[in-house]
C-alpha cells in the first residue's frame, strides 16, 4: 500500500493543455491506439533499464526478468499498464509528464491545423503518445520509482487532463511504472480481456518483452495431511496467474517469411509513432567481416524537423538484442536522416558510447551498408513497372528529394546511385519527373552536354533569360529550383559519361548545335558594339567585371553569368542568408545587341542611367534585388519622364 508523504499541484505547460484539449475531443480517429502508445512507452522504459543496467547491475534489484503487464479492474473501472523498467523520480515525472519533453514545442503548436487526421499525425511525430491515455480516461494516475532509488522515493502523478496535475511522494516497493487509466463510461469496452488481447496482438505482438495479462486457472486444491476437514482433497479452487499474450521476440530477429506485411507496418508505427504506413522497407541479415541485422523503413511523410540542425536520425541501435540508444546518427548518412529503423549488431560492445561509434570501423561498415540498402530500395521503386511502386517513389521524392540531393556533396561513393534517383522539371515540362537518364535519351543529335539552370524558384528558372536561345533551338534544359541544387551541383561534373553544364556559367557554347553563321554574327556584333561595350564596362565597373555581347539572349536585353568555377549569385545569396562570409564576386554582364533597349544606348544622353537600369533588371531576372532599390526606382522614373 502506497503511503502519501508530500503533495503539490502544478500547471501543465500551455502547449500540453492545448494538446490535451485536442485529445479529449476525439483527436485520435482510432481510440484503441492508446494501448499501443502506452505499451510502447513501457517497453522503452525496460530497454533503458537494460542499457543502464550494463554499468549498474544493482538496478535490477531482485527482479531481473523484464516485462509489461496489463491489468483490468471492472469494479473500479480501471486499466493498468505496468512495467519493471527504469522508472521515474519525482523531478522526471514533473518534467516528462507535465511538458512536451522534446524540443520543437513551438513548432508543434504552429503546425496544428484543426484537421483531426493531420493533427493526430503530428502527435506521433512529436513523441507525446503518453497523452493518448486521455482518449479513454477522465483521470490518469502514474505511480513510479526509478531504479536505484529506495522504496521511499516513489512518486505518484495524477491528472484529470485539464489544466493541472498533482505530484506526491509515495512508498513503492517495486521499481518501474504503473499507469492507471480511470476509464470514462463510453470506454468500458476496454475492460473486456478478449478486446484488450486482440488490440495487443494487433499492435504490439512484436514487442521483444513479454506482455502479460492475468488469467483464471481452476485446479485441484492441494491440502496437507491432517487438514482435510479445512479443505478436503478434490476441491477445485480458482487462482490467477500471469499469461504472456504476445510473441515476445524482436520482430527483426525473425525470418522474413514468418512476418506479415501488417506486422511490418505495425512495428514501424510503434517504432516511429507515425500514424501512416511506411512507403517501403528493407529487412536483411548481413554477414561477413561485420555481422548485423537491419530493418529500415522509408516514411510516407517528412517529419516536422527534417531541415533543422537538431534533427535526429531515426535508427535505434541494439547489440545482441540489447537496446543501446535511440537516434544513432552514426548508423546512417545525414542525407538519409529520414530513414527509420533498427540495427542489431553482433560485434559492437554492449558499453559502446556515441564517441566510440564515431571511431568504430564496424559502425562505418554498417553505415555504408545501410546507405546502399536504402538507395537500392529506392532504385527498385523508381524502376518498377508496378503503378503502386511508381506512386510510392513519387511520394518519396516529393517529401525527401531535397534531402537526398545533399548526398551529392556528402557521399562520393554513392554519388552515381543518387544521381540516378534525382528528378527535375525541364524547359519542356513543369512536372518534376525527368531523370538524368530520361534527359539523355531525349538529347538532340550533336548535343554533347546535359544542360541545366539553377534558380530560387521554378518560375524563375523557367523564365530565366539564359534559356532563350535553348528554347529557340528546341534544346531541353533541366530546371533546378531548390536551394540545395546550386550547392549540390558543385560536386557533379558528369552523368554516365556526359558532362553537365550550367547554362548560366561561362560563355554559351552549343558546339555542333550552333552553326557557323551564328558564330560569325556574334563576332561582328562584338566588333560593332565595341565602343558601347567599353563605355558600359566603365559605367558599371563597380558592379561587373566584364561586359560582352552574346547570342544566348532572344527577348531580353541582358543577363548575368558567372565564370566557370565561381559561386553563382543564387549560392552567394543563400550563403549570406545563412550568415556566412562570402568573397565579393562580380558577375559578367552579357548584352543582346539586337534588343532595342541595348541599341538605344548608342548616343544616349542618359547612358549611365540606362546602363544601370539594364544591369539591375538582369539582377531582378535572376531572382535578386538591386543593390540600391531606391536608386533603381529613381533612374526608372527619370527615364520615363524623359
CATH code where residue 563 lies: 1.20.120.790
Q: Are 465 and 618 in contact (CB under 8 A)?
A: yes
Domain boundary among 483, 512, 541: 512
Report pLDDT for 407.
95
Kindly state whether residues 444 and 495 are assigned to the same domain. Answer: yes
* Section 216-237 average pLDDT: 60
In a domain, 225, yes or no: no
Q: How many CB atoms lie within 10 A of CB 119?
A: 18
Kindly state whether residues 212 and 294 are assigned to the same domain. Answer: no
Q: What is the pLDDT of residues 57-66, one digit of tens each?
A: 999 999 999 9
Q: What is the pLDDT of residues 110-163, one digit of tens each?
A: 555 555 445 544 444 444 578 888 889 999 999 999 999 999 999 999 998 887
In a domain, 399, yes or no: no
Q: Where are the alpha helices (DSSP H) in 306-386?
A: 354-359, 361-383
Q: Which domain does 465 fall in, by range?
A: 424-512
Kindly state whether residues 497 and 537 are assigned to the same domain. Answer: no
Domain boundary among 460, 486, 512: 512
Distance CA 452, CA 448 (A): 13
Q: By 3-state DSSP, what share of the chain in percent is helix, strand and coil, each rounded to 5?
A: 45, 20, 35
Domain boundary among 512, 536, 567: 512
Report pLDDT for 154.
96
14 or 214, which is more confident: 214
In a domain, 27, yes or no: yes
Kindly state whether residues 25 and 145 are assigned to the same domain. Answer: yes
In a domain, 615, yes or no: yes
In a domain, 539, yes or no: yes
Q: How many CB atoms lie within 10 A of CB 174?
A: 16
Q: Are 300 and 395 in contact (CB under 8 A)?
A: yes
* CB within 8 Å of 148: residues ≥ 6 apart: 56, 58, 59
Q: What is the pLDDT of residues 487-534, one digit of tens each?
A: 899 899 999 999 999 888 766 667 667 666 767 777 787 788 888 888
- Output the nine-digit C-alpha cell for 255: 525470418
Report pLDDT for 261.
94
Report pLDDT for 44.
86
- Output the nine-digit C-alpha cell for 349: 560492445
Q: Are 561 and 497 in contact (CB under 8 A)?
A: no
Report pLDDT for 222.
61
- Percent of residues, the chain, with pLDDT higher than 70: 85
- Output the nine-digit C-alpha cell for 522: 556574334
Q: Are 558 and 592 in contact (CB under 8 A)?
A: yes
Kindly state whether residues 108 and 199 are assigned to the same domain. Answer: yes
pLDDT at 554 over 90: no
CATH of the domain at 190: 3.30.565.10
Q: What is the pLDDT of residues 322-363, one digit of tens each?
A: 777 777 888 999 999 999 999 999 888 876 777 777 778 888
Kindly state whether residues 278 and 320 are assigned to the same domain. Answer: yes
Quick check: helix, strand or coil at residue 276?
A: coil
CATH of the domain at 439: 3.40.50.11260
Q: Where are the alpha helices (DSSP H) in 474-606?
A: 483-488, 516-528, 530-539, 569-577, 596-599
* CB within 8 Å of 336: residues ≥ 6 apart: 370, 371, 374, 403, 404, 407
* Section 292-296 average pLDDT: 96
Q: Where are the alpha helices (DSSP H) in 103-244?
A: 105-111, 116-125, 193-203
pLDDT at 395 over 70: yes
Q: Are 41 and 131 in contact (CB under 8 A)?
A: no
Strands 68-73 and 78-83: antiparallel
Kindly state whether residues 519 and 507 are assigned to the same domain. Answer: no
Distance CA 358, CA 361 (A): 9
Q: Which phi and psi angles does 171 have, rounded to 5°? A: -90, 130
> Which is nearest to 51 in space by CA: 84, 86, 101, 82?
86
Kindly state whether residues 61 and 202 are assigned to the same domain. Answer: yes
- Output the nine-digit C-alpha cell for 125: 511525430
Distance CA 452, CA 505 (A): 10
In a domain, 409, yes or no: no
Distances in whole angstroms, Cα of residue 356 to Cα of each of 57, 330, 352, 631: 22, 10, 6, 58
Distances in whole angstroms, Cα of residue 331 to Cα of each of 276, 300, 334, 501: 24, 21, 9, 35
Question: 504-520: buried (b, 16+ CB within 10 Å) or exposed (e) per residue?
Answer: bbeebebeebbeeeeee
Handedness of CA 46, 48, 53, 59 (dihedral sign): negative
E-strand stretches of 258-298 = 280-286, 292-298
Beta-sheet strand order (sheet of 164-170): 7-11, 164-170, 154-159, 137-145, 176-183, 78-83, 68-73, 211-220, 236-244
Kindly state whether residues 371 and 331 are assigned to the same domain. Answer: yes
Distance CA 586, CA 546 (A): 9
Q: Which phi and psi angles does 25 have, rounded to 5°? A: -105, 40
Q: What is the DSSP string of 503-539?
A: TTBSS---GGGS-HHHHHHHHHHHHHTHHHHHHHHHH
DSSP 455: -
Kindly state whether residues 452 and 463 are assigned to the same domain. Answer: yes
- Output the nine-digit C-alpha cell for 285: 541479415
In a domain, 406, yes or no: no
Report pLDDT for 25.
57
In terms of Cβ atoms closer than 10 Å to its own Cβ (0-12, 13-18, 19+), residue 451 is buried
Distance CA 461, CA 564 (A): 19
pLDDT band (50, 70, 90) for residue 303: confident
Distance CA 88, CA 97 (A): 10
In terms of Cβ atoms closer than 10 Å to its own Cβ (0-12, 13-18, 19+), residue 254 is middle
pTM of the model: 0.71
Kindly state whether residues 567 and 632 are assigned to the same domain. Answer: yes
Distance CA 272, CA 124 (A): 8
- Please count the structural domains in the chain: 4
- Enumerate the β-bridge partners of residue 502: 452
Q: Find the distance separating the first CA and the last CA of the chain, reported in whole Å.
A: 95
Query: Residue 634's Cα: distance from chain center in Å?
Result: 47
In a domain, 212, yes or no: yes
Report pLDDT for 356.
76
Q: Are 291 and 367 in contact (CB under 8 A)?
A: no
Distance CA 302, CA 345 (A): 27
Kindly state whether residues 464 and 367 are assigned to the same domain. Answer: no
Residue position matching grid coordinates 566584364: 546
Q: Are 151 and 145 in contact (CB under 8 A)?
A: yes
Amino acid at each position: 500500500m502506497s503511503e502519501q508523504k508530500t503533495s503539490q499541484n502544478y500547471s501543465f505547460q500551455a502547449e500540453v493543455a492545448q494538446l490535451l484539449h485536442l485529445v479529449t475531443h476525439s483527436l485520435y480517429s482510432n481510440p484503441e491506439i492508446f494501448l499501443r502508445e502506452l505499451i510502447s512507452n513501457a517497453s522503452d522504459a525496460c530497454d533503458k533499464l537494460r542499457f543502464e543496467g550494463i554499468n549498474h547491475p544493482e538496478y535490477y534489484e531482485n527482479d531481473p526478468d523484464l516485462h509489461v503487464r496489463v491489468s483490468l479492474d471492472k469494479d473500479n473501472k480501471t486499466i493498468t499498464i505496468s512495467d519493471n523498467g527504469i522508472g521515474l523520480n519525482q523531478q522526471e515525472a514533473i518534467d516528462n509528464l507535465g511538458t512536451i519533453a522534446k524540443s520543437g514545442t513551438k513548432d508543434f503548436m504552429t503546425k496544428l491545423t484543426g484537421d483531426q487526421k493531420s493533427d493526430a499525425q503530428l502527435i506521433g511525430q512529436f513523441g507525446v503518445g503518453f497523452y493518448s491515455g486521455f482518449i479513454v480516461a477522465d483521470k490518469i494516475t502514474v505511480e513510479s520509482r526509478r531504479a536505484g532509488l529506495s522504496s521511499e522515493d516513489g512518486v505518484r502523478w495524477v491528472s484529470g487532463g485539464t489544466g493541472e496535475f498533482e505530484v506526491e511522494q509515495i512508498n513503492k516497493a517495486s521499481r518501474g511504472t504503473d499507469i492507471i487509466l480511470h476509464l470514462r463510461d463510453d470506454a468500458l469496452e476496454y475492460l473486456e480481456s478478449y478486446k484488450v488481447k486482440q488490440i495487443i496482438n494487433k499492435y504490439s505482438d512484436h514487442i521483444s518483452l513479454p506482455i502479460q495479462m492475468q488469467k483464471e486457472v481452476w485446479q485441484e486444491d492441494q491440502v496437507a495431511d491432517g487438514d482435510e476437514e479445512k479443505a478436503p482433497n478434490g476441491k477445485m479452487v480458482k487462482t490467477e496467474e500471469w499469461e504472456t499474450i504476445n510473441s515476445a521476440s524482436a520482430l527483426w530477429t525473425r525470418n522474413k517469411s514468418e512476418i506479415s506485411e501488417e506486422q511490418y507496418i505495425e512495428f514501424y508505427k510503434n517504432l516511429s509513432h507515425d500514424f501512416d504506413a511506411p512507403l517501403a522497407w528493407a529487412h536483411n541479415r548481413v554477414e561477413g567481416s561485420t555481422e548485423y541485422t537491419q530493418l529500415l523503413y522509408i516514411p510516407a511523410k517528412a517529419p516536422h524537423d527534417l531541415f533543422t540542425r537538431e534533427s535526429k536520425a531515426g535508427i535505434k541501435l541494439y547489440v545482441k538484442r540489447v537496446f543501446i540508444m535511440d537516434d544513432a546518427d552514426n548508423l546512417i548518412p545525414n542525407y538519409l536522416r529520414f530513414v527509420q529503423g533498427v540495427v542489431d549488431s553482433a560485434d559492437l560492445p554492449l558499453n559502446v558510447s556515441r564517441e566510440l561509434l564515431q571511431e568504430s570501423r564496424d559502425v562505418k561498415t554498417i553505415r555504408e551498408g545501410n546507405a546502399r540498402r536504402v538507395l537500392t530500395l529506392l532504385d527498385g521503386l523508381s524502376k518498377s513497372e508496378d503503378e503502386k511502386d511508381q506512386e510510392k517513389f513519387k511520394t518519396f521524392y516529393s517529401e525527401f528529394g531535397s534531402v537526398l540531393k545533399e548526398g551529392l556533396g556528402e557521399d562520393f561513393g554513392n554519388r552515381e546511385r543518387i544521381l540516378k534517383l534525382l528528378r527535375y522539371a525541364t524547359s519542356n515540362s513543369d512536372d518534376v519527373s525527368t531523370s538524368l537518364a530520361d534527359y539523355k535519351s531525349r538529347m538532340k543529335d550533336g548535343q554533347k552536354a546535359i544542360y541545366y539552370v539553377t534558380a530560387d524558384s521554378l518560375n524563375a528558372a523557367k523564365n530565366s533569360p539564359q534559356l532563350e536561345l535553348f528554347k529557340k533551338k528546341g534544346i531541353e534544359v533541366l530546371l533546378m529550383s531548390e536551394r540545395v541544387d546550386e550547392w549540390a551541383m558543385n560536386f557533379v561534373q558528369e552523368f554516365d559519361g556526359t558532362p553537365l553544364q550550367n547554362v548560366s556559367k561561362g560563355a554559351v557554347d552549343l558546339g555542333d548545335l550552333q552553326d557557323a553563321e551564328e558564330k560569325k554574327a556574334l563576332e561582328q556584333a562584338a566588333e560593332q558594339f565595341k565602343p558601347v561595350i567599353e563605355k558600359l564596362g566603365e559605367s558599371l565597373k563597380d558592379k561587373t567585371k566584364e561586359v560582352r555581347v552574346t547570342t544566348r539572349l532572344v527577348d531580353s536585353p541582358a543577363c548575368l553569368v558567372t565564370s566557370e568555377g565561381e559561386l553563382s549569385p543564387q549560392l552567394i545569396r543563400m550563403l549570406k542568408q545563412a550568415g556566412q562570409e562570402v568573397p565579393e564576386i562580380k558577375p559578367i554582364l552579357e548584352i543582346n545587341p539586337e534588343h532595342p533597349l541595348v541599341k538605344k544606348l548608342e548616343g544616349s544622353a542618359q547612358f549611365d542611367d540606362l546602363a544601370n537600369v539594364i544591369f539591375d533588371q538582369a539582377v531582378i531576372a535572376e531572382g535578386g534585388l538591386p543593390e540600391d532599390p531606391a536608386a533603381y526606382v529613381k533612374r526608372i522614373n527619370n527615364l520615363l519622364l524623359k
